[in-house]
Amino acid sequence: MTSKMNLVALQFPTTTNFQINLDKLIELIKETNQNDIIVAPELCLNGYAYNRLDEAVTITSKAIDELKNLSHNKTIISTFTTKFEDKYQNTLYMFSKGEIIHTQSKYKLFPLGDEEKYFEAGEKKDIKIIELHGVKIANLICFELRFTELWEQIKGADIICIPAMWGKTRKEHYEALTKALAITNQSYVIASDSSNNDMASSSGIITPFGETYQDDSKELISHPFDSFEIKKMRKYIKVGLS
């Protein structure tokens, strides 16, 4: 298992200038340390710019090359606008060792945000645990956090990453659900939400015990990963996890 690894939640606004957003993402990633696992907000490069989807796909292609290069000694996770044939998707990428090691497209699209009108849903089977450096990592994308059937699907993960663009009016829901997920799964949760004016922020790291490290004023929130904390919770409060 990798030693001296930090869990990092990024928290920044998405502007209408896609290149500026990519530059900001790169800047923040460069502030992190070797071996860190970094989660950026959902669609942080372009947001839900439904009238600019082809531009969004273009910035995604550019970002993939940049993020591969930045991931040689760290892991980077976020979602991006992708296109296959004539259909667009909201696709999560995991970058590590200079490669794309996993993708999954958003399975539960958010009806209040009109996602179903513009994006094709992903496959439920792609929501799964990925083992990396001896650590089990899983991902849920924003609205998917509300579906406990998906919690069951990633049961046993050591770290669960939640990139989101979660609305400010439901801020308490995001905080309650991410904390409940960490406690229920006895795992770390990295919650990364947009800090646009209408978004919740609420990014942070939640420990297997439910301790929350959160600061809406910061662009980068970091906390050490300690595998012993997971083992301790699962040994003494036995809920069927190992």
Flag whether the pTM goes above 0.95.
yes
Residue 127 falls inside a structural domain: yes
Q: What is the CATH number of the domain that holds 154?
A: 3.60.110.10
Residue 183 falls inside a structural domain: yes
Are the beta carbons of 101 and 64 closer than 8 angstroms?
no
Question: Which SS3 state, helix, strand or coil, does residue 38 take?
Answer: strand
Q: Where are the alpha helices (DSSP H) in the chain?
A: 18-30, 53-70, 115-118, 148-153, 171-185, 227-236
Q: By residue range, what is the domain housing residue 116?
A: 6-236
d(CA 142, CA 18): 21
Q: What is the pLDDT along the chain (242 residues), one digit of tens a residue?
A: 456 899 999 999 999 999 999 999 999 999 999 999 999 999 999 999 999 999 999 999 999 999 999 999 999 999 999 999 999 999 999 999 999 999 999 999 999 989 999 999 999 999 999 999 899 999 999 999 999 999 999 999 999 999 999 999 999 999 999 999 999 999 999 999 999 999 999 999 999 999 999 999 999 999 999 999 999 999 999 999 97
Residue 32 falls inside a structural domain: yes
Domain count, the chain: 1
d(CA 178, CA 162): 8
**pLDDT at residue number 242:** 78
Residue 122 falls inside a structural domain: yes
pLDDT digits (tens, 9 = 90+) for 49-72: 999 999 999 999 999 999 999 999
Question: Which SS3 state, helix, strand or coil, does residue 186 take?
Answer: coil
Are the beta carbons of 136 and 205 closer than 8 angstroms?
no
Residue 241 falls inside a structural domain: no
Residue 229 falls inside a structural domain: yes
Residue 242 falls inside a structural domain: no
pLDDT digits (tens, 9 = 90+) for 33-48: 999 999 999 999 999 9
d(CA 183, CA 45): 31
Those residues whose C-beta lies under 8 Å from the C-beta of residue 91, and which sit 6 or more positions away, are 79, 80, 81, 82, 103, 104, 105, 106, 122
